[in-house]
C-alpha cells in the first residue's frame, strides 16, 4: 500500500509530509519590515465556537472583528502562520539554512529558502508594502490593525506559558515573535501575486547578467531556439490540480424557484495557503461567513444573509513576458524606443545560518527594467540572459492595489446588484472567476471581470518578440512574449480601465442568467453551454477548444439533473441533491472508455494478474468512493496512457458538441492500449498493491497519526470530486427564513495536532457529513461549544 501511494504524485494525493519547517522571527538582517508594531488602541471581541471549532466573532467595529479573527486563527494555526511571516519577510535562511524547501506546498511553490528570501525581499519589499497600504481605505486598515493585534495577543500568551500543550512545534522557538501590520500586509500582497510573480520565485531570484568575459553568440546568428515549455508550468501552483468547481443556479433550474450556489475550491491541504472558516459580525455593518485564505483578515469566499459567492482559478494570464534588446557591450543596459536605459540594480543581503549555527551574509544584485523584474527562463529552453537579449516580467497584480478592498466590500454587500457593481467599480479580483447569487434575485452570475493585462489580439502581429514570441504563444496559447524595445508594445488602457495597462470591465466576460452557470477551470467560454461567451482576447482565455474531462462531467451532471436522468428525484436542482451530486466521485474517463478498453485489453493471452484486473474493472462501478474496488487500477492505467500522450479518441473534438466530444476509443492504438494496461497491472503487482483493494484503504488525508480515508481522484482522470476539495459550501435563501448554508472543510480548522479540531472536520468530510452552518444568533447559541471575550 505504501509503495502504491509513493508511486502516485504526493501532491496529487494530498499526502505530502506534514513536518513543516515552522518559524517566525523578530525583525532582523537587512530586508525585513521597518515599521513599528501595531499602535496601542482599544479592541474588543467575543469569540463563540461551534461544531468543528468554527469561530463566530462579534465586535462593535471592524478593528474588533479583525482582533477576534486574528486571535482565533492563531489559536488554531499559530505555527503555520509564524512560519509564513518568516517566509514573506525573506528570513528563512537565517533560521533554517539556505537549502531546505521554503514550503511544503503553497502558491509560491517549494523553492529553496535562499531563493525565496531573495525573491520576497526584492518583489514584496518595504516600498511595495507601503504603496499597497496607502491605497487601502480606513476600514480595511482598521480590520488589518485589529487582526495584527489579535494575532500578537495570542503570541504573547504562548510566550508567557499559557495554553500548555498547544503548538509544541514552535512555542519555545526563538523565532516565534509578534508581528507588525506591515508583516500582515506583506502576506496579502504576496497572495495577490499567486498567479503571476509568485509563480516564478527561482526564475526571478536567479536572474543575473552574463559575465563580461562570457559573451554569447548572437541569437540572430544562432540556430532557431527549441524551447522545452510545459504549459502546466504557467498554471497557478505550477501543476494540474489547483483549481475549483462551482455552480450557480438561477430560478429556472431550482426546485424552489430561488437561486442556489455551490462553491468547491480545490486548494492546498497544508501550509499557509489553506482555507480557514470564520464568521464575523459587526452589527449594522457586516455579518459574513466564509473561507479566508490563512493570514487574510477578510473572507475571500462566502455568504451573508443576502448574497453568496464562489471562486475558481481563472484561465486569464496575469503577467506578460517582455524580451529586451540589450546594449552592445553592457548587458545591464537596454534599448527602449531607441534610447539606452539602465536596469535598476538592487543589492540585497541575506543572513544565512551555517551548519555550526553561525550566520554568514550572502549578497546578490537583482535587476528591474521599466516593466518589472528580470527573469531567467533558461530552464524552459529559452535563451539565458546573454549579451544580446534578456527577459523581464510585468505583473498586473503588482500594480493592482484594489483586491483587498474588493473582497472586503463583498463581505458587506446586500444584494447581487451591489455585488456586481463592486466588481465593475474595483476590477480588483486578482486571479479567480466568480459565481454569485442574491436573495430575491432570480439570476445567477458568472464573472471573469478581473485584473488582466490589456494585450488585445490586435497587438500581437506587430508586438510578439521575434523569433521567440510566436513559438511561446503556440505552446502556451494566450501568453504573449512581447517586444520590450518599443513602447508601442506596452499594455493598452481602455476608457474604463481601473488601472493603467489593464482591461476595463466592458472588455471582460460575464453572464447573468436565470438558467445556470458553472466553471471547472476551463475558460469563460462554456460558463453555460447554451449561452456561450465569445469574442474576447486570447490572454483572457480560449474559445472553441476541447474541455477537460472534469469540465465536461460538471456540465453533464447538471444536464442529467435537469432532465431527471441521474437517479435522484425530480428534475431541478436543490440544496439536497446538489450536496449528493458533487461528492459522487464519478470517474468520467471510465464512463467514456472503460468498456472499449476492456474489450481491447482483456482478450487473448493474459497473465493471471491481468485476468484478475479485467474481472475487477468489469465489476467496478466507475467511481472513486471509499469502498470502490478497481478505481486504483483504472487510475494507474490512465496515468500510463496520459504519459504516453496517445491519440485516444475515435471521434475528434467538435466545438458544436463540446460536452460530448471527443469520444470513443481510437482502434488504431489497440496495441498501445494493451501494452499500457499490462504495464499498469504489472506496476501495481510489483508495488505490492492488491488489485482487489478498496480505494479507502489506499489514500488518506495528510494527518499524521490519523488514518482518515479519502474518496475522489484527479480532475485529469475525469473526477469532479477532486482530492484537493478544501472548503465547500452550498447556499440558498429560503423565502421566509435566514440564509441556509451547508459547509465542509476537508482539512479541518486547526493544524495543531493537540487541538480538538485537528481532524474532526476531515472525518466529517470523509463520511460526507455536510455541516449545517449556524448563522443566526439563535442558531449560534444552540450550537455553541465555547465562548470567550477578549479585549485590550
Rounded-to-integer distance, Cα 114 and Cα 124, Å: 15
pTM: 0.93
Domain 21-200: give its CATH code: 1.10.439.10
Between 7 and 124, whose confidence is greater? 124
Rounded-to-integer distance, Cα 391 and Cα 375, Å: 6
User: Domain residue spans in the chain?
Assistant: 21-200, 219-237+318-398+463-488, 588-699
Judge contact between 95 and 86, C-beta under 8 A. Answer: yes
Work out the average pLDDT over 140-144: 98
pLDDT interval class at 52 (50, 70, 90): very high
Q: Among the listed ranges 132-136, 240-244, 355-359, which one has the minimum average pLDDT value?
A: 240-244
Q: How many residues belong to the chain? A: 792
Superfamily of domain 588-699: Aminohydrolase, alpha-helical knob region (1.10.1400.10)
Query: In sequence order, what are the residues at sequence separation of 6 or more whose Cβ sits closer than 8 angstroms to the Cβ of residue 458?
Result: none
Work out the average pLDDT over 114-138: 98
Class of domain 219-237+318-398+463-488: mainly beta
DSSP assignment string, 557-605: HHHHHHTT-SSSSSSSB-HHHHHHHTTS-BBHHHHHHHHHHHHHHSSSS
Task: Verify whether residue 670 is a known catalytic residue.
Answer: no
Between 216 and 385, whose confidence is greater? 385
pLDDT in tens, 560-608: 999 999 999 999 999 999 999 999 999 999 999 999 999 999 999 999 9
Extract the C-alpha cell encoding 93. Answer: 535562511
Extract the C-alpha cell encoding 484. Answer: 520590450
pLDDT in tens, 391-428: 999 999 999 999 999 999 999 999 999 999 999 999 99
Given a cut of 90, is residue 238 above it in pLDDT?
no
Given a cut of 90, is residue 70 above it in pLDDT?
yes
Work out the average pLDDT over 245-268: 97
- What per-residue confidence (pLDDT) applies to 28? 31
Strand 44-50, strand 786-791: pairing = antiparallel
What is the distance of C-alpha 75 from the center of its chain?
Answer: 24
Closest CA to 196 of 373, 433, 425, 365: 373
Given a cut of 60, is residue 4 above it in pLDDT?
no
State the DSSP H helix or E strand holding residue 248, giving kind and residue range, or none if neither.
strand 243-249
Rounded-to-integer distance, Cα 665 and Cα 669, Å: 8
pLDDT interval class at 706 (50, 70, 90): confident
Provide the mean pLDDT of the chain: 92
Given a cut of 50, is residue 311 above it in pLDDT?
yes
Judge contact between 574 and 740, C-beta under 8 A. Answer: no
DSSP state, residue 732? E
Task: Kindly name the residue from 106, 206, 244, 678 that is annotated as catalytic.
Answer: 244
Rounded-to-integer distance, Cα 221 and Cα 659, Å: 47
- What per-residue confidence (pLDDT) applies to 497? 98
Closest CA to 717 of 613, 605, 622, 598: 622
Q: Among the listed ranges 703-707, 731-735, 738-742, which one has the minimum average pLDDT value?
A: 703-707
- What per-residue confidence (pLDDT) applies to 234? 81
Amino acid at each position: 500500500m505504501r509503495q502504491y501511494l509513493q508511486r502516485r504524485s504526493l501532491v496529487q494525493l494530498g499526502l505530502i509530509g506534514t513536518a513543516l519547517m515552522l518559524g517566525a522571527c523578530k525583525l532582523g538582517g537587512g530586508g525585513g519590515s521597518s515599521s513599528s508594531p501595531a499602535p496601542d488602541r482599544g479592541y474588543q471581541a467575543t469569540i463563540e465556537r461551534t461544531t468543528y471549532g468554527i469561530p463566530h466573532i462579534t465586535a462593535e467595529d471592524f478593528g474588533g472583528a479583525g482582533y477576534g479573527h486574528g486571535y482565533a486563527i492563531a489559536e488554531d494555526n499559530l505555527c503555520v502562520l509564524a512560519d509564513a511571516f518568516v517566509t514573506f519577510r525573506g528570513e528563512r535562511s537565517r533560521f533554517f539554512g539556505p537549502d531546505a524547501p521554503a514550503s511544503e506546498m503553497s502558491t509560491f511553490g517549494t523553492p529553496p529558502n535562499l531563493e525565496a528570501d531573495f525573491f520576497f525581499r526584492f518583489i514584496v519589499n518595504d516600498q511595495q508594502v507601503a504603496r499597497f497600504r496607502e491605497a487601502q481605505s480606513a476600514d480595511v486598515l482598521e480590520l488589518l490593525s485589529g487582526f495584527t493585534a489579535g494575532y500578537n495577543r495570542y503570541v504573547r500568551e504562548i510566550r508567557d506559558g499559557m495554553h500548555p500543550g498547544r503548538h509544541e512545534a514552535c512555542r519555545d522557538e526563538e523565532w516565534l515573535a509578534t508581528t507588525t501590520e506591515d508583516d500582515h500586509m506583506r502576506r496579502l500582497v504576496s497572495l495577490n501575486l499567486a498567479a503571476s510573480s509568485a509563480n516564478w520565485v527561482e526564475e526571478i531570484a536567479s536572474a543575473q547578467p552574463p559575465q563580461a568575459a562570457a559573451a554569447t553568440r548572437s541569437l540572430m546568428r544562432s540556430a532557431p531556439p527549441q524551447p522545452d515549455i510545459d504549459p502546466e508550468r504557467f498554471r497557478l501552483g505550477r501543476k494540474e490540480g489547483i483549481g475549483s468547481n462551482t455552480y450557480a443556479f438561477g430560478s429556472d433550474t431550482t426546485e424552489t424557484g430561488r437561486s442556489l450556489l455551490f462553491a468547491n475550491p480545490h486548494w492546498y491541504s497544508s501550509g499557509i495557503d489553506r482555507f480557514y472558516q470564520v464568521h464575523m459580525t459587526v452589527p449594522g455593518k457586516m455579518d459574513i461567513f466564509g473561507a479566508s485564505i490563512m493570514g487574510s483578515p477578510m473572507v475571500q469566499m462566502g455568504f451573508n444573509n443576502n448574497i453568496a459567492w464562489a471562486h475558481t482559478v481563472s484561465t486569464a494570464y496575469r503577467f506578460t513576458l517582455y524580451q529586451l534588446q540589450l546594449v552592445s557591450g553592457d548587458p545591464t543596459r537596454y534599448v527602449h524606443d531607441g534610447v539606452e536605459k539602465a536596469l535598476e540594480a538592487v543589492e540585497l543581503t541575506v543572513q544565512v545560518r551555517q551548519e555550526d549555527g553561525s550566520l554568514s551574509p550572502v549578497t546578490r544584485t537583482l535587476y528591474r527594467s521599466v516593466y518589472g523584474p528580470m527573469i531567467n527562463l533558461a530552464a524552459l529552453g529559452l535563451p539565458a540572459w546573454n549579451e544580446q537579449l534578456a527577459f523581464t516580467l510585468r505583473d498586473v497584480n503588482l500594480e493592482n492595489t484594489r483586491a483587498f478592498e474588493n473582497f472586503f466590500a463583498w463581505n458587506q454587500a446586500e444584494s447581487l446588484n451591489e455585488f456586481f457593481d463592486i466588481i465593475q467599480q474595483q476590477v480588483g479580483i486578482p486571479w479567480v472567476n466568480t459565481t454569485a447569487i442574491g436573495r430575491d434575485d432570480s439570476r445567477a452570475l458568472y464573472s471573469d471581470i478581473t485584473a488582466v493585462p490589456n494585450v488585445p489580439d490586435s497587438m500581437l502581429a506587430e508586438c510578439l518578440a521575434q523569433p521567440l514570441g510566436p513559438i511561446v504563444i503556440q505552446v502556451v496559447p494566450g501568453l504573449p512574449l512581447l517586444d520590450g524595445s518599443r513602447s508601442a508594445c506596452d499594455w493598452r488602457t481602455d476608457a474604463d480601465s481601473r488601472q493603467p495597462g489593464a482591461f476595463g470591465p466592458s472588455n471582460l466576460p460575464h453572464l447573468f442568467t436565470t438558467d445556470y452557470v458553472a466553471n471547472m477551470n476551463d475558460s469563460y467560454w462554456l460558463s453555460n453551454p447554451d449561452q456561450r461567451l465569445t469574442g474576447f482576447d486570447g490572454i483572457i482565455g480560449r474559445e472553441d477548444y476541447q474541455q477537460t474531462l472534469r469540465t465536461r462531467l460538471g456540465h453533464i451532471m447538471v444536464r442529467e439533473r435537469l432532465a431527471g436522468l441521474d437517479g435522484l428525484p425530480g428534475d431541478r436542482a436543490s440544496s439536497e441533491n446538489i450536496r449528493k451530486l458533487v461528492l459522487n466521485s464519478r470517474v468520467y474517463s471510465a464512463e467514456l472508455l472503460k468498456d472499449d478498453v476492456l474489450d481491447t485489453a482483456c482478450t487473448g493471452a493474459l497473465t493471471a494478474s491481468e485476468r484478475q484486473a479485467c474481472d475487477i474493472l468489469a465489476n467496478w462501478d466507475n467511481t472513486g468512493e471509499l469502498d470502490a474496488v478497481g478505481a486504483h487500477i483504472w487510475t494507474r492505467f490512465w496515468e500510463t496512457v496520459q504519459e504516453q500522450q496517445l491519440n485516444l479518441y475515435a471521434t475528434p473534438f467538435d466545438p458544436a458538441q463540446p460536452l460530448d466530444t471527443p469520444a470513443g476509443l481510437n482502434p488504431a492504438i489497440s496495441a498501445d492500449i494493451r501494452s499500457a494496461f499490462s504495464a499498469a497491472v504489472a506496476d501495481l503487482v510489483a508495488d505490492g498493491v492488491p488489485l482487489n483493494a478498496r480505494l479507502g484503504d489506499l489514500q488518506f488525508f495528510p494527518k499524521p497519526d490519523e488514518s482518515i480515508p479519502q474518496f475522489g481522484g484527479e480532475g485529469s482522470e475525469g473526477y469532479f470530486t477532486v482530492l484537493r476539495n478544501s472548503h465547500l459550501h452550498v447556499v440558498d435563501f429560503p423565502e421566509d427564513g435566514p440564509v441556509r448554508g451547508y459547509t465542509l472543510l476537508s482539512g479541518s480548522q486547526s493544524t495543531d495536532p493537540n487541538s480538538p479540531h485537528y481532524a474532526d472536520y476531515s472525518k466529517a468530510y470523509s463520511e460526507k457529513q455536510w455541516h449545517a452552518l449556524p448563522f443566526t444568533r439563535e442558531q449560534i447559541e444552540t450550537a455553541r461549544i465555547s465562548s470567550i471575550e477578549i479585549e485590550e
